[in-house]
Amino acid sequence: MKLVYRARSEAGPVRPHNEDCYVVGEGSPDIPPGQLFVVCDGRGGPNVGEVAARLAADTIIATYYAANELDPTQALLKSFQTASEQIYHQWSRTSTRVTAAAALVMAEQLVIASAGDCRAYHFHDQRLELITTDHTFYRTLIQDGMLTRQDVQMYTSGITRLHALGDEIDLKADVFQQVLQQNEAVLLCTDGLHDYVEGEEIQEILSTVPRAEAVDHFIDLITERGGRDNVTAVLIWREA
């Protein structure tokens, strides 16, 4: 089976700077250590958040491929911890933080890691499954009915992240293990996507739009809706 991906990152129609980024590792998805995909969302203002996001993404990639751990899950955890340490040492006295999600593909094995509110979705059997958990204060408020998704769309830049790279040196990312089989897909994205496109709509788009066009479809749709945030999406799938 062939591994294919499409990726795009945009500043969006409102913000002058893009504090999102993505990086794709050069490893092969067919043999260890596999191929690693990372999306990051920096928080800290123009020329700071974008630098921090790029540093985090590059550090995760470099640390993972340089790790000696035989267990890829432990190597991925180490890469997030190292990135958090880098952000902490450089910007600990500021509000600069980075949220991140990564997908490691090795044969049919899929390992997801996340910290913050970048998300990973698994699309299989025409159904969309949210793998990650948002580490944000507003997630609890939405669940309790004290905040709506519309509020989040208007005030996303002021929402507190409860868990992100740079919060602490010894950060422990969430890790999830899945299987990625033929015709299944993984979507990594920043909150600039999932704040404006509901899960049901993501599922419908992945069910009806050709995979190679889906990422552009997401971002163009968000632009039409006047998205106020940067947006990044990486779609990865297996095909014969």
Measured CA to CA in angstroms, residue 60 lies from 43, 120, 132, 185, 238 at distances of: 17, 16, 18, 22, 23
User: Which neighbouring-strand residues pair with 109?
Assistant: 106, 179
Contacts of 66 (CB under 8 A, 6+ apart): none
pTM above 0.85, yes or no: yes
Q: Show the tokens assigned to 69.
A: 């751990």
* H helix intervals, 1-136: 49-66, 72-91
**Could you tell me which residue, 226 or 113, shows the higher pLDDT?**
113
**Could you tell me which residue, 140 or 43, shows the higher pLDDT?**
43
Measured CA to CA in angstroms, residue 17 lies from 8, 35, 48, 134, 144 at distances of: 15, 29, 10, 24, 33
Q: Read off the pLDDT of residues 97-109 as tens digits, 9 standing for 90 and up.
A: 999 999 999 999 9
pLDDT value at 187 more than 90: yes
Query: Domains in the chain, please, with CATH?
Result: 2-239 (3.60.40.10)
